Amino acid sequence: MKQLSLSLAILLLSLGLHAQSFEKISMDDLLAKAKTAGHPVVLNVWATWCAPCVEELPYLNEGVKAFKKEKVELWLLSMDFPKNLDEKLKKFIKEKGYTARYFWLTDDNADEFCPKLDQRWEGTIPVTLFYNPLNNYRKFLNRAITKAQVPLEIKEMIQ
- How do residues 90-101 score in pLDDT, each as one tens digit? 899 999 999 999
> SS3 helix, strand, coil % of the chain, rounded to 5?
50, 20, 30
Say if residue 14's pLDDT is above 70: no
Give the Cα-Cα-Cα angle 105, 130, 20 (nearest 5 degrees): 45
Give the Cα-Cα-Cα angle 21, 23, 24 (nearest 5 degrees): 135
Say if residue 12's pLDDT is above 60: no
**Lowest mean pLDDT, pick from 10-19, 113-122, 128-137, 149-158:** 10-19
Rounded to two decimals, the pTM is 0.86
**Lowest mean pLDDT, pick from 15-19, 41-45, 54-58, 145-149:** 15-19
* 29-61 pLDDT per residue, tens: 999 999 999 999 999 999 999 999 999 999 999
> Is 22-158 CATH 3.30.1330.10?
no
Across 12-142, the runs of DSSP E, i.e. the strands, are 22-25, 41-46, 73-78, 101-105, 127-132, 137-141
Give the strand pairing for 101-105 and 73-78.
parallel
Percent of the chain's residues with pLDDT above 70: 87
